[in-house]
Homo-oligomer: A and B are copies of this chain.
Amino acid sequence: MGKGAKKTTTSGDSGSTAGKGKGKGKGRGKAASPAKGASTVKAAPLRGKAAEKARAAKEEAAQARNDDAVEAASWSDLLRVRPGFRLADLDPSSTPGFDGKKAEGKEVMAGLQERLGDLQERLFAESKGGGRRSVLLVIQGMDTSGKGGIMRHVVGSVDPQGVDITSFKAPSAEERAHPFLWRIRRALPRAGQLGVFDRSHYEDVLIVRVHDLVPPATWGRRYNQINRFEQSVVDAGTTVVKVMLHLSSEEQKARLTERLERGDKFWKYNPGDVDERGYWADYMEAYQVALERCSTDAAPWHVVPADRKWYARLAVTNLLLEALETMDPQWPAADFDVEAERERLALTP
């Protein structure tokens, strides 16, 4: 019966304590921001052509850092898919943009989450004043890449009233009877919301491509369709943050093995996951093409090394944070006479 249930969210009668007019820039650990100093920037270990590009980018960044007025690099800059990007060149166990270890990574998270909660509340409030903007976080990744952990530990850190998670599974009969973007459009975030896609329309050029679920000519058209679609979403006021969690095959094996070792993890295990490992290279190729063809100025892709869960969570939190900081949502002005209301209220018993 929950099938047709809408998730609506509240009008903001929230006893929220976060975001009480805190100034910008607070709560963002220095160590977590690649913009805040060379010592914290650690470039992704790249090989070949990518290494060349990275060196050039680093030089640029170093120059920029000499200019106080310019933020040298951001997480988005660092992790964004640009022309020439090769997935195979990015080490899934690396931690670009963060020099510390797990304990330090976890330590900075609290401050980041507080800031994220603040900005999300502002975005929510802005929509109550008529604002039309929203955020859409798209999370893709192989099985066990940590999508669920992002939902729990990153998305779960903000007020659930402002969040709308949609998990896309194999399409239902009804969904299959429609164009592939039909169910996606229906799940787009409303104004003021942080929409989250756990898997997305990209499955229609990933698993669909790998397993020939539709003719090649059909999936072949989808890259452009996706780009046009995302452009229209952005034009309508939604900031789109696309993240691929980049896991190594070895780490997936380790995580699947763990699920087979613990009775409280069996429910997460699906024998089909082992079969899918036989298509690893095909998936990587499908990802490479999707990343290449659909990383647009309007909606760029970011690839986050995901062999270390703590790092992936840190990086996604920072990507979201940067998106919201760029949007800079504002508390709406009163649409009533504040003084008159004070008097009216004071007169009530």
Contact = CB atoms under 8 A, between A and B. Distances in A.
A193 interface: yes
A160 B156 contact: yes
A260 B343 CA distance: 11
Interface in A260-275: 260, 262-264, 266-269, 271, 274
A145 B228 CA distance: 45
Contact of A6 (B166, B190, B338): B166
Interface stretch (A35-43, A49-57, A291-299, A328-336): A328-336
Given A13-B148, A151-B160, A160-B152, A267 B7 contact: no
Contacts of A263: 21, 331
A189 B266 contact: no
B6 A7 contact: yes
Given A159-B156, A165-B160, A129 B267 contact: yes
A198 interface: yes
A221 interface: no
Given A267-B331, A331-B263, A341-B260, A148 B14 contact: yes
A116 B148 CA distance: 18
A10 B331 contact: no
Given A15-B309, A16-B152, A264-B21, A6 B187 contact: yes
A28 interface: no
A10 B9 CA distance: 19
Nearest to A141: B13
A82 interface: no
A26 interface: no
Interface string A238-250: 0000000000010
Nearest to A347: B274
Interface in A298-341: 309, 331-334, 336, 338, 341
A21 B47 CA distance: 42
Nearest to A157: B156
23 contacts: A2-B188, A5-B7, A8-B166, A11-B167, A12-B267, A13-B268, A15-B152, A15-B153, A20-B262, A20-B264, A21-B263, A125-B264, A125-B268, A152-B159, A161-B167, A253-B345, A253-B348, A266-B331, A266-B333, A266-B338, A267-B332, A274-B345, A274-B348
Interface of A: 1-17, 19-21, 125, 128-129, 143-144, 146-153, 155-156, 158-161, 163-169, 185-190, 193, 195, 198, 249, 253, 256-257, 260, 262-264, 266-269, 271, 274, 277-278, 280, 309, 331-334, 336, 338, 341-342, 344-346, 348-349
Given A6-B6, A21-B262, A161-B165, 10 more contacts: A8-B166, A9-B165, A12-B267, A13-B144, A14-B151, A148-B161, A155-B160, A161-B167, A264-B331, A269-B341
